[in-house]
Amino acid sequence: MALFTIESEFRYEIVRKVFEGGMGVVYEAEQHGTRDFVKRVAIKVVRQNYANQKSFIDNFVGEAKLVADLIHTNIVQTYHLGEARGMFFIAMELIRGVNLEQFAQQLSDKKRVLPKELAIFIISRVARGLAYAHAKTDKDGKPLGIVHRDVSPKNIMIAFEGDVKLTDFGIAKARGFLQDNEGEVVAGKADYMSPEQADFKITDGRSDLFSTGVVLAHLLLGHNIFKGPTAEESRQHIMTLRIPDFRELDKRIDDRLNEILQRSLARDLDKRYPSADELLYELEHYIYHQGYGPTNETLGKFIRELFGQMVPAAAKLAKGSTQLLEHTARIAKP
């Protein structure tokens, strides 16, 4: 039972468009509070053509409720779920940086090769976030059974300070939060999904580990070995393509790293890593077992040099189209 209730007003001023996806748009915004309080945040807004679809809105709300309690340094933090003028939005942590897809494209454009240790470091931080999410329980201590189901470069953020954060739990599954028709439809990006996802099967946390392995191989090789001309061909590759000996594809990949990749990408679930914790241990042991290894600062220095300390161009709102979102919230303090 709450001791008391605080009623307060939040006002968000949209500054610029950061990212536009198929079902939502992310903006940079200023959150305004009392006595000239201002905080920069990211605002995720439902696209207008989905705003009247109950199932989509239910999942959007479910995502916000789920992620609100996922408080971890390697997961983008959610601050607030709101509704203004019939429009639903989520206020989130603003990351000053790029997603891994933009990062990889910049490497390609500048003909740079990502150092092996930094590739492994990035994925080890993803594994840390997944380990936390997979182990999350409800207030009664019951496992939520979270599976992200969309671990891919677009959903991994790297801040210019070097922090790595997993984002977008929009198609995650978790008990009691999101509607799920797994087994009837395929959820996820075809190039990065697990074989069980691609084959309409029920998934658990090990599915995310396969996807994580695909991203690691992509970072090391500079391309995704499963990507086909179409989504359907990519899905077939995920299920049937022979997993290569990665030592033959990149001389930097030694026996131990090849073993990590092979186990991450094992189609037989009994041969894949059983948990994100175990994958995390293997990755960290690989880069730190001899002592000093990469850190957030190392990655931050690399990405700032790569991008010239400049935020990549983002689509800005047309002049005069700055928007205000106003919302009254009741915040219960225990």
Q: What CATH number did the domain enclosing 269 receive? A: 1.10.510.10
- Please provide the DSSP assignment of 257-293 as one string: HHHHHHHHT-SSTTTS-S-HHHHHHHHHHHHHTTS--
Q: What is the pLDDT of residues 48-66, one digit of tens each?
A: 777 777 777 887 888 888 8
What distance in Å separates the CA atoms of residue 246 and residue 51, rounded to the nearest whole number? 45
Percent of the chain with pLDDT over 90: 56
What distance in Å separates the CA atoms of residue 275 and residue 208, rounded to the nearest whole number? 10
Q: Is the pLDDT score of 314 beyond 60?
A: no
Structure tokens at 297: 């600062």
pLDDT band per the 50, 70, 90 thresholds, residue 321 = very low
Counted domains in the chain: 2
Together in a domain, 57 and 160: no
Together in a domain, 210 and 255: yes
Q: What is the pLDDT of residues 250-263, one digit of tens each?
A: 999 999 999 999 99
Structure tokens at 307: 């991008």
Give pLDDT, residue 330. 35
Residues paired with 99 in a beta bridge:
157
Task: State which amino acid sits at residue 69.
Answer: D
Together in a domain, 62 and 23: yes
- Catalytic site positions: 150
Together in a domain, 36 and 128: no
Together in a domain, 291 and 319: no
Q: What CATH number did the domain enclosing 15 receive? A: 3.30.200.20
Together in a domain, 111 and 226: yes
From the number of C-beta atoms within 10 Å of its C-beta (0-12, 13-18, 19+), residue 197 rates as: buried
What distance in Å separates the CA atoms of residue 14 and residue 26, rounded to the nearest whole number? 10
Residues comprising the chain, all counted:
334
- Please provide the DSSP assignment of 15-81 as one string: EEEEEE-SSEEEEEEEEE-GGG-EEEEEEEEE-GGGTT-HHHHHHHHHHHHHHHT---TTBPPEEEE
Range of the domain at 59: 4-95+313-333
Q: What is the pLDDT of residues 258-304, one digit of tens each?
A: 999 999 999 999 999 999 999 999 999 999 998 889 999 999 999 99
Please name the helix (run of DSSP H) or strand (run of DSSP E) that holds residue 10, with its range, or none. strand 4-20
Structure tokens at 152: 């891919």
Please name the helix (run of DSSP H) or strand (run of DSSP E) that holds residue 312, with its range, or none. none
Together in a domain, 81 and 57: yes
Residue 143 contacts residue 295 (beta carbons within 8 Å): no
Q: What is the pLDDT of residues 177-218, one digit of tens each?
A: 555 565 555 567 889 999 999 898 888 999 999 999 999 999
Together in a domain, 233 and 171: yes
Together in a domain, 164 and 58: no
Together in a domain, 226 and 320: no
Together in a domain, 119 and 223: yes
Together in a domain, 88 and 134: no
